[in-house]
Amino acid sequence: MTAVHYSGRLRPVRSSDIGVIDCSGARVCAHVRGPATVLVVEGEIDICNSDRLVAAIRRLNRPGIPFVLDLRAVDFMSVSGFRELLAFADECDRTHAAWHVVPGDALRPLLRIFADHRLPVVGTGGPAAGSG
């Protein structure tokens, strides 16, 4: 087992993990969980890194494999970051991707404000999958 440094703490990366990508203030870590991939996002999502973050999600996502985008460990999400997430959701709709979003405290206010978001939201709060 190797270790990846995350802002002052070490976190194990298991052999079933696909990878970790740093996105200038946010990180995406991919874990294989049964028949799906769980993409855990940590940190802040804003205008400076939202496009890089979505590119990382595309890179870690395996075509034809269902995935869960776990945003419970996101500390902040700007409207521009939310807009980028909505554009990604439209892309997933066009390609008929099987996916779900697990929101966190940073995303919930935006989901309430933009109630017609059409994101495939599931689950409730709690620690992010794969956090250690």
Q: Domain map of the chain by residue range?
A: 13-113
> Among the listed ranges 1-5, 16-20, 21-25, 30-34, which one has the minimum average pLDDT value?
1-5
pTM reported for the whole predicted model: 0.79
| Helix locations, 61-101, DSSP H | 79-94
Q: What is the pLDDT of residues 89-106, one digit of tens each?
A: 999 999 999 999 999 999
Query: What CATH fold (topology level) applies to the domain 13-113?
Result: Transcription Regulator spoIIAA (3.30.750)
Find out whether 72 and 125 touch, Cβ atoms under 8 Å: yes
Q: What is the pLDDT of residues 38-80, one digit of tens each?
A: 999 999 999 999 999 999 999 888 888 999 999 999 999 999 9
